[in-house]
Amino acid sequence: MSSDGVLIQATGITKRFPGTVALDGVDFCVRAGRVHSLVGENGAGKSTLMNILSGVYGDYEGKLDIRARGVAMIHQELNLVPEMTVAENIFLGREPRTALGLVDRRRMERNAAALLQQLGAPIRPGQAVRELRVGEQQIVEIAKTLSQEAEVLIMDEPTSSLSERETRTLFDLIRDLKAKGNGIVYITHKMSEVSALSDEVTILRDGRLVKSVPFSQTSIAEIIRGMVGREGKDFFVKNPHGIGDCVLEMEGLCLDDTQRRGRRLLEDISLQVRAGEVLGIYGLMGAGRSELLGSVFGLYPDQVSGKVRIGGTPVRIRSPRDAVRCGMALLPEDRKQDGLVMGMDITRNTTLAALESLCRHGLTDTRAEKARTDEYRSRLGIRSHSNRQTAGELSGGNQQKVVLAKWLLTNPRVLFLDEPTRGIDISAKNEIYKLMDELSASGMALVVVSSELPEIMAVSDRIVTLRDGRIGAEFPRERFTEESILKAALPAT
Amino acid sequence: MKAQVKQFLDKPVVKPLIALLLMVIAMTLLSENFATADNLFNVLRQVSVNLCVSVGMTLVILTGGIDLSVGSILALSGAVAAGLTRNGLAFDGANLFLGFTFWGGILAALLVGGFLGAFNGWMVTRFKVPPFVATLGMMTIARGLTMLYTGGFPITGLGASFRFLGTGWLLGIPMPVWVAAVIIVFFAFYMKKTPTGRYIYAIGGNPRASLLSGIRVDRIILWVYTLAGLLSAVAGLLVTARLDSAQPNAGTGYELDAIAAVVIGGTSLSGGKGSVPGTVVGALIIGVLNNGLVLLDVSPFWQQVIKGFVILGAVILDKYATRKQA
């Protein structure tokens, strides 16, 4: 280690992709024993910069001086082999060998167990990764990176699928690593994490360096201003408007568990949603939030029992198609897996759910498709250089807006939003909140699932908590308090 | 201007098209017999059978599937058409005999092909059998049924209408080429302009997002395999008509030629990307290559080796070009 503790010094880094400059003359420095937070909206260039530091991209302009012994990156996406065990995944390609050159399973599992214990996770090294929850897989991913014993660790939104407790353990570990002299780069959208961990903060915007300062010399408000690039418009404020008749009604909805016979994932759910109303559904992971939306949307036709009425008329929904025809729309939690066809362009993704209504004489109408896409592109503020760009090339916030545009084109009466702002930057978040407000003002019924309490309290007219697949409690807007809602969501013990 | 050229070159069909043109130019220079009307129509007539099969294969591959049974379905449909028009259908117990006209035979062949294709689709959607396995099973089943129906012997002598379909000319163009051309034009249009065509691409690109967008994914997959079966039956009719005889081992290995045409034409085996025109170019490349190697007197054994390398080369080129863009 050099005397000033600099592990990585990047100077004037520029990276071009066809048609765009992803990074434009950015300086970045990682020091030993420091946590350097990297913040910026989606598409600001954070991931590109980290891919350069960790050696994924070799062709860039500028000077990169790496003095650290090894740079390891924990990716946002999980890169695990589901069929292999936890230990095999952690040491993939670097398996400890016996004298004969065979894989030393015992040593591998012992080392894996030690790493997992350090992370405070009750995961067995011999378990297959596919059996783990997403949060647990994330921990395995972290363990895998730790096992490389690199001096610089890059963490790209590591807590996005971790529980509260797992997050705390990770933070303790980060402080340990810091004390041992490792340099840490921490990418996040959560300001609470920035203030809990940072020694230094670097803000990127549109591929440019906004500023890089010690955390003690700045504030969260200033950071947000730097990210957004304009005077921070205050947090979203809901406009009050009238609420109409009941649009969607569930009565005694149950969802059977296919894995455990006789158990139910949802039990006796009865809910009403009115026109112009935003109903928030809050619950911890595994409480059945997404399952509730999926049950109404026809994803589990053979496991669901109970009644659903739309506008007072009983409906039988056996597939997403039935749901769409009844005027429902679902913005899924995982937009890459469930929301978009990544290889298709913006137009085709936008018109996918309403294609038949845009047809003339049974044939697709290119002009109508383009007109409708342009309309929603400007209405939702989708940023792209053309409608021909594929969905995969867009940033998270713009992808989410394309999924939203797809559903708005179907003129739904009920819109379900499952974690609508996950992995989306602050300004796109605010835009989506505003849209939700406009939609409900126009008489649409909205059902929002979110694990962020401030978010769900800001957007909802009414909140229902779910715990263990049952309805916990219901709160009208005037009785919203963080404590009472959280308490109603915690499992009864 | 430069950007427009680049955009043009990036169109998936353009690269194979350039390769085809280069091949045609090279062959014209190398052999004086190549660029004659007789020879070119000969190439087209030979390609027309593969074209029918390949168009169906394109749709299947676009959904992310594969169909290995096309050659066997081709043989069975051809045999059924030939057998029914020649011998009719006798129900001895009921003392009933049904004679078949030319059109009756064609209809029966299409029904057989469509039904077997639908069976493939049913296996894939209802029982979630991987397409490779489902159609591998059908490949063997349909071949066995062909053997049972024909007793292992060719059925020959089908009459003037069939001979016209196989060897006749209309407005100066061979009949099989007409048939292939109609199919190509129809399906190129179908894929580009109908919602179903769009859904086929969407399903190949992301089946789950398609389902959640309200697309009847299973129904469309079933339909695509049915179409592949139907188009194999059309190819079976062409083969049978051309030889004036249904051979029990007709169509053996045709699935590989069709897959090769699809892949050379720039369609991705993982689904969602590709086109019917691309496949047409791919099939023409294979056709010109076959014809050219014969004209140049290359031994049949070497022909196979060369064809194999062309397939590999095409895929590598395509991969390389795509990576450069990303």
Q: How far is B47 from chain A (nearest CA, A)?
A: 30
Least confident of B127-136, B258-267, B311-320: B311-320
Q: Which tokens belong to A214?
A: 């010690």
User: Chain B contacts of A334, Cβ < 8 Å?
Assistant: none
- The pTM score is 0.78
Chain B: closest CA distance from residue A429 (Å): 22
Q: CA–CA separation, A173 vs A375, rounded Å?
A: 49
Q: Which of residues 257-286 of B touch A (CB under 8 A)?
A: 272-273
- Better-predicted residue by pLDDT, B102 or B150: B150
Q: Give the pLDDT score at B176.
A: 93
Nearest CA in chain B to A359: B195
Question: Any idea what the CATH number is for the domain that residue B116 is in?
Answer: 1.10.3470
Q: Indicate whether B170 belongs to any domain.
A: yes
A341 contacts on B by Cβ (under 8 Å) = 201-202, 205-206, 209-210, 272
Task: Give the C-alpha separation, A453 to A483, whole Å.
Answer: 10
Q: Among B125, B186, B203, B212, which would you mutate to test the A interface (most chain A Cβ atoms within 10 Å of its Cβ)?
A: B212
The angle at the Cα of A15, spanning A10 to A17, to the nearest 5 degrees, equals 165
Chain center to CA of A71? 25
On whether residue B2 sits in a domain, the answer given is no
**What was the pLDDT predicted at B326?**
37
Q: Which residues of B touch A352 (CB under 8 A)?
A: 198, 202, 209-210, 213, 215
Q: How far apart are CA B200 and CA A354, in angstroms?
A: 15
Is residue B201, in this structure, part of any structural domain at all?
yes
End-to-end CA separation in angstroms for chain B:
21
B270 in any annotated domain: yes
Q: Do B214 and A364 touch (CB under 8 A)?
A: no
- pLDDT tens for A333-363 read 888 889 999 989 999 999 999 999 998 988 9
Strands (DSSP E) found in B199-312: 245-246
Determine the average pLDDT of the residues in A377-388. 85
Higher pLDDT, A164 or A328: A328
Residue that has been written with the tokens 């504030």 in this structure: A219
Residue B239 maps to a domain = yes
Phi and psi of B166, rounded to 5°?
-85, -40
Which region holds residue A286: left if phi is over 0, alpha if psi is between -120 and 50, else beta?
A: left
Q: For A59-95, how does the pLDDT look when each residue is reduced to its tens digit (9 = 90+)? A: 899 998 888 888 888 876 677 888 899 999 899 888 8
Tell the residue number behind the tokens 């009865």, with chain if given.
A270
**Residue A66: exposed, middle, or buried by beta-carbon count in 10 A (0-12, 13-18, 19+)?**
middle
Each residue of A238-273: pLDDT tens digit? Answer: 777 888 899 999 999 999 888 777 788 898 999 999
Query: Does residue B222 sit in helix, strand or coil?
Result: helix
Q: What is the reported pLDDT for A2?
A: 45
Per the structure, the count of domains in chain B is: 1
Residue type for position A172: D
Distance CA B126, CA B119 (A): 10
Average pLDDT for chain A: 86
Q: Say which residues have a Cβ less than 8 Å from residue A294's Cβ, sequence separation at least 6.
A: A300, A330
- Rounded CA-CA distance B69/B282 in Å is 20
Within a domain: B34: yes
Mean pLDDT lowest for which of A189-193, A227-231, A430-434, A483-487?
A227-231
Nearest CA in chain A to B324: A18
Residues of chain B contacting residue A319, judged by C-beta atoms under 8 Å apart:
211, 216
Neighbours of B23 (CB within 10 A): 16
Report chain A's terminal Cα–Cα distance, integer Å: 51
ipTM: 0.85
Treating both helix axes as pointing N-terminal to C-terminal, what angle do A134-146 and A105-118 enclose, rounded to 10 degrees? 110
How confident is the model over B13-33, as pLDDT tens digits?
788 888 889 889 988 898 888
- Average pLDDT over every residue of A187-195: 84
Model pLDDT, residue B7: 66
The pLDDT score that the predictor gives to residue B141 is 96
Contacts 24+ apart (CB under 8 A), A120-123: A120/A166, A120/A169, A120/A172, A121/A166, A121/A169, A123/A86
Interchain CB distance below 8 Å, A337 and B206: yes
- Geometric angle at alpha carbon A457, from A452 and A458, rounded to 5°: 100
**Burial group, residue B316, by CB count within 10 angstroms (0-12, 13-18, 19+):** exposed
Q: Is B95 on the interface with A (CB under 8 A)?
A: no
Rounded distance, CA A307 to CA A269, Å?
10
Least confident of A278-287, A343-352, B51-60, B221-230: A278-287
* Within-domain flag for B6: no
User: In the numeric block, which tokens belong to residue A465?
Assistant: 């908590």
Collect all residues with Cβ–Cβ distance below 8 Å to B215 and sequence separation of at least 6.
A321, A352, B199, B202, B203
**Chain A residue with minimal CA distance to B217?**
A321
Return d(Cα B239, Cα B226) in angstroms, integer: 20
Partnered with residue A426 across adjacent β-strands are none
Q: What is the mean pLDDT of residues A147-164?
A: 84
Q: List chain A residues with CB under 8 Å of B213.
A: 320, 324, 352-353, 406
Q: What share of chain B is helix, strand, coil (3-state, %, to 5)?
A: 75, 5, 20
**Structural domains in chain A?**
6-228 (3.40.50.300), 246-489 (3.40.50.300)
Q: Do B209 and A356 touch (CB under 8 A)?
A: no
Which tokens hold the place of A35? 């946590």
- Which of A331, A350, A355 should be substituted to probe chain B, the one whose Cβ sees the most B Cβ atoms within 10 Å? A355
Scanning B182-201 for CB atoms below 8 A from A yields: 192-195, 197-199, 201
Residue B201 — pLDDT band, cuts 50, 70, 90? very high
What are the chain B neighbours of A355 within 8 Å (beta carbons)? 195, 198-199
Give the closest-approach CA distance of B190 to chain A in angstroms.
9
The mean pLDDT of B178-182, rounded to a whole number, is 95
Write out the residues of chain A at the interface with chain B, using a CB-CB cutoff of 8 A.
18, 297, 299, 319-321, 323-325, 330, 332, 337-344, 348, 352-353, 355-356, 359, 362-364, 406, 410
**CA-to-CA distance for A275 and B134, rounded, in angstroms?**
48
Range of the domain at B136: 13-325
**Residue B202 forms contact with A (CB below 8 Å):** yes
Asked whether residue B242 is domain-assigned, the answer is yes
